């Protein structure tokens, strides 16, 4: 018997023998009820793997090595907003703290800061686009798997 199928040729005894063998294997949990389906041992291994990964994540959270993506996103957004607000206040701060700084020098400082801010925006945008691409690829793969099933 190959892949859970009865032999295409042979005597009635061969067919009955293959059928009984398949039923014994299913009853023992070594063969799935569906052709190509998971058997009991594979299901247990998959369950144990998922449980192990869940425990690893919980331990990472308890050790402070892991945080939910939503929380990290919120913290990053808040920090980014604070930095942007601070950058917007710099021209006034420079005038108060360095009144003898020539306008040309002040302008060069502001150009350098604007360049750094723009690069930061580009970098975070690239990260967001990469994340969106990965998420879209995952969604596409899930859709293809559903269509194949």
Please provide the DSSP assignment of 13-46 as one string: HHHHHHHHHHHHHHHHTSS-SSTT---HHHHHHH
Please report the pLDDT score of residue 48 as a whole number.
94
Tell me: pLDDT of 3 over 60: no
Please report the pLDDT score of residue 57 as a whole number.
87
Of the candidate ranges 27-36, 100-109, 111-120, the one whose mean pLDDT is the lowest: 27-36
Closest alpha carbon to 109 in 124, 121, 97: 97
Please report the pLDDT score of residue 40 as a whole number.
72
Per-residue burial over 113-129, b = 16 or more CB atoms within 10 Å of its CB, e = otherwise: eeeeeeeeeeeeeeeee
Please report the pLDDT score of residue 54 as a whole number.
92
Write the DSSP symbol of residue 100. Answer: T
Tens of pLDDT along 125-140? 777 777 767 656 665 5
Tell me: pLDDT of 69 over 70: yes
Please report the pLDDT score of residue 51 as a whole number.
95
Please report the pLDDT score of residue 53 as a whole number.
93
- Would you kindly state where each structural domain of the chain is located, as residue ranges? 1-66, 67-149
Other CB atoms within a 10 A radius of the CB of residue 51 amount to 10
Q: Give 52's pLDDT tier (boundaries 50, 70, 90).
A: very high
């Amino acid at each position: 018997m190959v892949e859970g199928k009865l032999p295409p040729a042979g005597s009635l005894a061969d067919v009955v023998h293959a059928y009984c063998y398949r039923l014994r294997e299913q009853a023992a949990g070594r063969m799935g009820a569906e052709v190509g389906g998971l058997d009991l041992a594979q299901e247990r291994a998959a369950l144990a793997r998922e449980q192990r990964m869940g425990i690893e994540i919980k331990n990472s959270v308890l050790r402070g090595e892991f945080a939910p993506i939503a929380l990290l996103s919120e913290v990053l957004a808040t920090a980014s907003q604070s930095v942007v607000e601070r950058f917007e206040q710099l021209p006034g701060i420079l005038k108060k703290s360095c009144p003898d700084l020539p306008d040309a020098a002040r302008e060069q400082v502001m150009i350098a800061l604007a360049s750094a801010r723009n690069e930061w925006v580009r970098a975070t945008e690239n990260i967001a686009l990469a994340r969106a691409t990965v998420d879209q690829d995952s969604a596409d793969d899930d859709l293809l798997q559903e269509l194949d099933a």
